[in-house]
A and B are shown apart, each in its own frame.
Chain A
Amino acid sequence: MTTLDSSKEIQKNNSEVNETHEDFRMFGLITFLIADGMTFAGFFAAYLTYKAVNPLPDGAIYELELPIPTLNTILLLVSSATFHKAGKALLKDKNSDSQKWLFFTAFLGIIFLICQLFEYFHLPFGLTDNLFASTFYALTGFHGLHVTLGTLMILIIGWQSRINGGRLTSQNMFPLEAVELYWHFVDGIWVVLFIILYLL
């Protein structure tokens, strides 16, 4: 049994009015991720329309280098797997293992961001150079923002599981499960983005 609020004072006060019901925080999160996915869908739609309707003059077309984004794709897919490992470990009550996997996932996320910054600094175009450049930075930047938030959340729950002998237990999986779902979502968006932006 857990509550949303850990304050024991309030818990005691309300013991008579508590209603026990199914946990639907995950349901709310999924709804939110659908909404978030729609934002990306809007961006993708805009990008594809520009590609189809507003072709750039020949001189303004840039070849994107593939090595870094491919490495980034692999990084994110591996990080999804390591995050899954963290969940498995926690389920078996191996807290320190779970923590290690979490921090490793966060590490991969940070590497991803560093690679992306590296790519930004070595691209031959800037944000305002032309329409393609703007869309490129808007899409990857918005995704990078999601990766940043996800990495921060992983660090936070990893940190939380350290203090107080671990607030993250096999009985209280929700923070981990929620961040995991979010992380998989961000990975999935990256795969779509990779295909649309770099491969097409």
Chain B
Amino acid sequence: MTISIDPQKTNNESLQPKGWLRYFSFSLDHKVIGIQYLVCGFLFYLIGGTLASAIRIELASPMSDFMPRDVYNQVLTLHGTIMIFLWIVPVVNGAFGNYLIPFYVGARDMAFPRLNAVAFWLIPPSGLMLVASYFVEGAAQAGWTAYPPLSITTPQSGQIIWILSVLLLGGSSIFGGINFIATIIKLRRPGLKLMQLPMYCWAMLGTSLLVVLSTPVLAGTLILLSFDIIANTGFFNPVLGGNVVVYQHLFWFYSHPAVYIMVLPAFGLVSEILPVHARKPLFGYTTMVFSIMGIVVLGLVVWAHHMFTSGTPPWMRLFFTIATAFIAVPTGIKFFNWVATLWGGKISINSAMLFSCGFIVNFVFGGITGVALAQVPFDIHVHDTYFVVAHFHYIVYGGTVFIIFSSIYHWFPKVTGKMLNEKLGILHFIITFIGFNLCFAPQHWLGLNGMPRRVAEYDPQFQFVNQISSLGALLMAISTIPFLINVFLSVKNGKNAGDNPWNALTPEWLTSSPPPVENWEGEAPLVEEPYGYGKEISEQK
């Protein structure tokens, strides 16, 4: 059976509010929804960043003098939850996925435009609910992992709102994942083969598989946890015969893949950005595809490496150590492919390229500490110390957030038709890069020397290094200012970008900037070689 679906039902000019107002409407246009995701995510990034600054101010001195201890726990819980569930996951998946995937598969919209809108509009209310839960008596203070028994013995009204909000965000993420899988597999324009898709499509396909397979498990776990809190059942309460380790298994079955849900799209995006600004084809396309799928499969079977200190039996430790170390292989393949893409390229040093290279540097550092953490003896030594915090932030901030900024610099001309100011962009990069490394590199040292995480007070011998770290956090906070100025000035009176300022070959650049409501006049272009930059140069010769 064929059906006639018109994905643009309300994108039609006559049905669409004109101008910038349409970005505040219940639109079904994938481009509008993508930008809604990005702006909404960025607002939550500002909230989460403010909370991070508060944490670093508290830690600038060894005593808990800036805020009371339970407030500190609440702040770090809110910081973690907001950054993961409301900034990184929605933005790398929702924002860039929605904006780019229909272009890349040659479609006029996503497979299920309404489901897409539902997925986005679940986010602002549940995000606001999460922020509001802070002001309820007894805000969540068990960290973003909400480990029982802490999460069921501390004051609970805030924790319940926290669970509800995360459940809704999980639902949003599952709807998005279903939509991406259907779009990439089913909605490709005729003649476009899977192995001709730009790398970001593959990354999103892998990510969506992870979302569909693992997010429901988190949902089930949180439902059980809420029963423990509301109905006084004992699933995870040792006093009532429950088992906290079961919670950890179920939780990490989602939350370890969640790291790949955050980082795989970033891999895809950097694979789009590097070839354009290095004027070279992406090195090793096929190996990149297989390494993504390898990461998906391995990512699902390594969750217990978060639980080496939770009484995990030795055979399990051995298995999960080996599986975790193996992930370094596909990731290493990708890393070397990116470097090989840059090798001998005609590299233009602009903000997008700088952020991408910053990503590669940070990510390889985070990856190395990750391999170290996979080893049981080392992990037992640094478990729950600042070493883990540093590793995690190197992956998630130094990896993903750098790529979010890189992508914003890369696709801003396409979205708005205006160029961003390069000088401000490079300033933004320099402050971010220095601030980030100043903030998180010293934390490796703190962790190795035994400073525990998630506590407001620490041994005075760590004070100096913590102050360096706080200085870095201050720089990171400042770095947002040139970025915001840049965006506002450029939207108002930036240089006109033209349709294809980077001379890129991927399909989204083959339409006007900003793109028309239905992406293309007439039929979608068929790009057989999205990375054929060498050919273009040899033809010019």
Binding site for B on A (CB under 8 A): 1-5, 10-11, 13-14, 17-25, 27-28, 31-32, 34-43, 45-46, 49-50, 53-54, 56, 127-128, 130-131, 134-135, 138, 142, 173-174
Contacts and interface: CB of A to CB of B under 8 A. Distances in A.
Given A17-B6, A19-B6, 18 more contacts: A3-B6, A4-B5, A11-B6, A13-B12, A13-B14, A14-B8, A14-B9, A20-B4, A23-B1, A24-B111, A24-B182, A24-B187, A27-B182, A32-B174, A35-B216, A46-B246, A54-B242, A54-B243
Nearest to A13: B12
A42 B253 contact: yes
B476 to A, nearest CB: 36
A130 B4 contact: no
B227 interface: yes
Given A46-B246, A127-B231, A138-B224, A35 B174 contact: yes
B5 A19 contact: yes
A42 B216 contact: yes
Contacts of B178: 28, 31-32, 35
B250 interface: yes
A34 B217 CA distance: 11
Given A10-B9, A24-B111, A56-B241, A42 B220 contact: yes
B470 to A, nearest CB: 40
Contacts of B179: 28
B239 to A, nearest CB: 11
Interface of B: 1-9, 12, 14-15, 108, 111-112, 114-115, 174, 177-179, 181-182, 185-187, 212-217, 219-221, 223-224, 227, 231-235, 240-243, 246, 249-250, 253, 518
B242 A21 contact: no
Contact of B234 (A14, A21, A53, A130): A130
Contact of A39 (B7, B182, B216): B216
B235 A35 contact: no
A138 to B, nearest CB: 6
22 contacts: A3-B3, A3-B6, A17-B108, A17-B518, A23-B2, A25-B3, A27-B182, A28-B111, A31-B177, A31-B178, A31-B182, A42-B217, A42-B220, A42-B253, A49-B249, A50-B243, A54-B241, A54-B242, A127-B233, A128-B240, A134-B235, A174-B3
Contacts of A135: 235
B465 to A, nearest CB: 41
A44 to B, nearest CB: 10
Contacts of B253: 42
Contacts of A5: 9
Contact of B2 (A21, A34, A131): A21
A42 to B, nearest CB: 4
A11 B246 CA distance: 52
B18 to A, nearest CB: 17
B456 to A, nearest CB: 34
Chain A contact residues: helix, strand, loop or mixed: helix
B5 A3 contact: yes
Q: Which 9 A-B pairs have the closest CB atoms?
A: A42-B217, A39-B216, A42-B220, A134-B233, A38-B216, A24-B186, A39-B220, A18-B6, A23-B3
Given A21-B5, A38-B213, A13 B15 contact: yes
A32 B108 CA distance: 23
A31 B210 CA distance: 12
B304 to A, nearest CB: 13
Contacts of A21: 2-3, 5, 187
Nearest to B1: A23
A174 B2 CA distance: 11
B221 A131 contact: no
A70 B290 CA distance: 47
B235 A31 contact: no
Contact of B4 (A19, A35, A37, A128): A19
Given A14-B8, A28-B111, A42-B220, A20 B2 contact: yes
A39 B2 CA distance: 32
Nearest to B238: A54
Nearest to A4: B5
Nearest to B174: A35
Given A13-B12, A14-B8, A131 B235 contact: yes
A29 B277 CA distance: 40
Given A10-B9, A131-B242, A41 B217 contact: yes
A28 B115 contact: yes
B213 A34 contact: yes
A128 B1 CA distance: 50
Contact of A128 (B112, B220, B231): B231
A46 to B, nearest CB: 5
A156 B394 CA distance: 51
A53 B223 CA distance: 21
Contacts of B231: 127-128
A168 B218 CA distance: 37
Given A17-B6, A131-B241, A35 B213 contact: yes
A127 B230 CA distance: 12
A22 B182 CA distance: 11
Contacts of A24: 111, 182, 186-187
Contacts of B243: 49-50, 53-54
Contacts of B518: 17
Contacts of A18: 4-6
A19 B108 contact: yes
A81 B177 CA distance: 32
Contacts of B221: 42, 46
A126 to B, nearest CB: 10
A20 B15 CA distance: 21
A37 B177 CA distance: 15
A45 B243 CA distance: 13
B488 to A, nearest CB: 34
Contact of A38 (B3, B15, B217): B217
B176 to A, nearest CB: 12
A135 B231 CA distance: 13
A128 B242 CA distance: 11
A14 B6 contact: yes
Contacts of B181: 31
A110 B232 CA distance: 30
